[in-house]
């Protein structure tokens, strides 16, 4: 029997992880990451998926997205498989899949949980020991949230906007949030939910999602 698609219903934010097969490297240079970003941006526009946050690591990608249709995320990830993986394989004279067969995902409740998830994503390079300042890492959405950098890929989530009335106020408030270290509990909860497909949110939100599935 064919596998059921990931549950990413329209209008609900989802934290998505795409990993290299056996955690193998899927980006070898800035050029590769730029190519992935271009494919992601093109697919997001084509399939109506808003990209709120991202980080590209050497062997995996984190995304925070909201699809406008129920199959938008699945179609976006298939688009990346065609438009990033095939040229990558040709460039490096390799064959076979580059990413794991299925991406991992979890639905994320808005407000507090969504901002926690955004910070969790953007602080990946620090947890990996690659930098001590998220602003030094090129391939994440941090500079958009923290300094207002406008990039084609980025659609700020509506729950980011109330951080301030102006861009200056919002970015200052966001930097203040990031300066407060995420607790071990928050990190573990984000990691556990996306790896298992559990919903990241309060019990009432989990019940709401459960009703959507039925």
Q: Let me know if residue 91 belongs to a domain.
A: yes
Residue 119, SS3 per DSSP: helix
Q: Let me know if residue 213 belongs to a domain.
A: no
Q: Let me know if residue 121 belongs to a domain.
A: yes
Q: Let me know if residue 2 belongs to a domain.
A: no
- Mean pLDDT of all residues in 20-24: 90
CATH number of the domain enclosing 26? 3.30.70.1290
Which residues in 57-188 belong to E strands, given as ranges?
60-67, 104-107
- Provide the residue range defining the domain that includes 53: 14-200
The domain tally of the chain equals: 1
Confidence class for position 5, pLDDT limits 50, 70, 90? low
> Could you read off the pLDDT of 26-69 as tens digits, one per residue?
999 999 999 999 999 999 999 999 999 999 999 999 999 999 99
* pLDDT at position 1 over 50: no
Q: List b or e across 14-46, with b for residues whose CB sees 16 or more CB atoms inside 10 angstroms.
A: bbbbbbbeeeeebbeeeebbebbbebbebbbee
Look up the pTM and report it: 0.93
Q: Let me know if residue 210 belongs to a domain.
A: no
Q: Let me know if residue 6 belongs to a domain.
A: no
* pLDDT at site 51: 98
With a pLDDT cut of 70, the percent of the chain lying above it is: 97
């Amino acid at each position: 029997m064919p596998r059921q698609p990931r549950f990413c219903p329209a209008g609900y934010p989802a934290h998505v992880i795409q990993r290299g097969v056996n955690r193998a490297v899927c980006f070898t240079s800035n050029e590769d990451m730029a190519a992935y970003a271009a494919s992601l941006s093109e697919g997001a526009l084509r399939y109506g998926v808003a990209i709120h946050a991202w980080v590209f690591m050497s062997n995996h990608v984190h995304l925070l997205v909201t699809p406008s249709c129920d199959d938008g995320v699945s179609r976006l990830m298939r688009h990346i498989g065609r438009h990033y993986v095939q040229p990558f394989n040709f460039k490096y004279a390799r064959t076979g899949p580059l990413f794991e067969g299925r991406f991992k995902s979890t639905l994320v409740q808005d407000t507090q949980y969504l901002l926690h998830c955004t910070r969790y994503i953007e602080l990946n390079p620090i947890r990996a020991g690659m930098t001590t300042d998220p602003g030094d890492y090129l391939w994440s959405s941090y500079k958009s949230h923290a300094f207002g950098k406008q990039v084609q890929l980025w659609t700020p989530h509506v729950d980011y906007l109330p951080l301030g009335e102006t861009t200056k106020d919002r970015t200052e408030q966001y930097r203040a949030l990031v300066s407060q270290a995420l607790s071990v509990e928050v990190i573990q909860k984000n990691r556990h939910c996306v790896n298992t497909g559990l919903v990241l949110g309060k019990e009432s939100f989990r019940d709401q999602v459960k009703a959507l599935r039925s």
